[in-house]
Amino acid sequence: MSDVELALRSTRVVTPEGVRPATVTVTGGTIEAVLPYGTRVPAVDLGDDALLPGLVDTHVHINDPGRAEWEGFWTATRAAAAGGVTTLVDMPLNSVPPTTTVGRLRVKRTAAEGRTHVDVGFWGGALPGNVEDLRPLHEAGVFGFKAFLSPSGVDEFPHLDNTRLARLLTEIAGFDGLLVVHAEDPAHLTDIPSGPAYAGFLASRPHLAETDAIARLLEEARRLNARVHVLHLSSAAALPLIAAARADGVRVTVETCPHYLTLSAEEVPDGASEFKCCPPIREAANRDLLWQALADGTVDCVVTDHSPSTADLKTPDFATAWGGVSGLQLSLPVIWTEARRRGHRLTDVVRWMSARTAALAGLDRKGAIAPGRDADFAVLAPEDTFTVDPARLHHRNPVTAYAGKTLHGVVRSTWLRGRQVYSEGRFTEPEGRLLTRDG
């Protein structure tokens, strides 16, 4: 034990085998051992606060460079650290330029260098005109490729029609890459009525838009034996399609988001466009079915789809307001609050938000408190509560759909490879690394 650099002791350590009292030792930024609680080694005693593996959020729009006034690497990763998130994978759009070539990946990495408080990796973009760029991006270390089947909301990132989806997925399947897909069928999307009423926006993006797009994606994945991932599922109507495809051997995984699991269409006030996102927050009965799908494994994981903008773009008119929910710092307490109410445990939350997200991205050193893994930890006081004050959030623009909500679960501190990067509102200098698919 003489080489141990750090030991953390807690009565509640969340391991792959369950929650138990333990002492976790760290050497060289790596977990060396998970030992009995009473092991005689100098340790940081966390008492009854829970020790979790750091969360892995694979769906974050950092928007830097190009729209850094919306968000940026410095602010996004501070918000992540304050929320117990130790790894982000950045989406390729809303930054300018989007991450659709190796040269643009270098631009993104340069913008991030030395400015990340947690580890950051990158998705590449799959566009109608960049099929020849996909393999080079894969070889350069992106974790997979993001595509839209409906307009993305930014002109520089056009969506794929049926023919181009087939062509791009054929190319990606050729090197066994991963395509992650915003699955809404534009044939079922209608114009949003002007005004503050949420009902008009919700009606413009019906369940059928998701189910038809997902059916098309699953058909192509089956034909090509390709790996696909359904992003931000909001419609429970698609769950039977997904379950049937998976039973048939289709290689599909699915995520949903905290806002779909904890908010409902019935509670969205008129003009409150901080709730606007695509696909939309749906009815409470739909939300219950998403929770059931998480419990039975039809939905694999929970990620934020943190998609911020400047406050002025969140107008009271649902037709013109920017669509995106900002929730990076709050994702752990938001999900834990609702999960505990529904009878779930911290082990479930860790499975959905750390283990499975790490597996999705192939981050085999992340996602668990186990020997050989990175010593990435979140220290959580599960029974403590706080009320969400937007002014206390660390992402760039203090807008959130969770304002005023009382949540269970206070993140006391966050550790990255055995170094404390956040504690009780204070941050160290940036410690994050830029990750690639091959490490």
pLDDT, tens only, 84-99: 999 999 999 999 999 9
Distance of alpha carbon 251 from alpha carbon 164, whole angstroms: 20
Query: What is the model's pLDDT at position 438?
Result: 81
| pLDDT of res. 389 | 97
Backbone φ, ψ for residue 368 (5° rounding): -160, 150
Helix 162-174 to helix 131-139 angle (10° resolution) is 30
Name the helix (H) or strand (E) containing 175: none
Radius of gyration of the chain (CA): 21
pLDDT at 1 > cutoff 70: no
Condensed to tens digits (0 to 9), the pLDDT of residues 368-381 reads: 999 999 999 999 99
CA distance 351 to 335: 12
Q: Which is it for strands 30-36 and 18-27: parallel, antiparallel or unpaired?
A: antiparallel
The predicted model scores a pTM of: 0.97
Please provide the average confidence, as pLDDT, over all residues in the chain: 97
Q: Which residues of 138-166 are buried (b: 16+ CB within 10 A; e: fewer)?
A: bebbbbbbbbbbbebeeeebebbeeebbb
Can you read off the two tokens belonging to residue 208? 């059928």
Percent of the chain with pLDDT over 90: 99
The maximal CA–CA distance of the chain, rounded, in angstroms, is: 67
Torsion of CA 325, 326, 327, 328, to 10 degrees: 130
Confidence (pLDDT) at 166: 98
33-58 exposure pattern, b = at least 16 Cβ within 10 A, e = fewer: bbbeeeeeeebbebeebbbbbbbbbb
Stretch 168-185: mean pLDDT, rounded? 98
The reported pLDDT for the residue numbered 115 is 97
Contact present, 86 and 54 (Cβ < 8 Å): yes
Q: Write the pLDDT tens digit of every residue in 11-30.
A: 999 999 999 999 999 999 99
pLDDT confidence band for 2 (50 / 70 / 90): low
pLDDT in tens, 366-420: 999 999 999 999 999 999 999 999 999 999 999 999 999 999 999 999 999 999 9
Q: What was the pLDDT predicted at 300?
A: 98
Average pLDDT of span 73-83:
98
Q: What is the pLDDT of residue 423?
A: 97
Nearest to 242 by CA among 265, 203, 210: 210
55 neighbors 331 (Cβ within 8 angstroms): yes
Q: Give the confidence band of 4 by pLDDT, cuts at 50, 70, 90.
A: confident
pLDDT score of 321 more than 70: yes
Q: How confident is the model at residue 278 (pLDDT cuts 50, 70, 90)?
A: very high
Residue 3, pLDDT score: 78
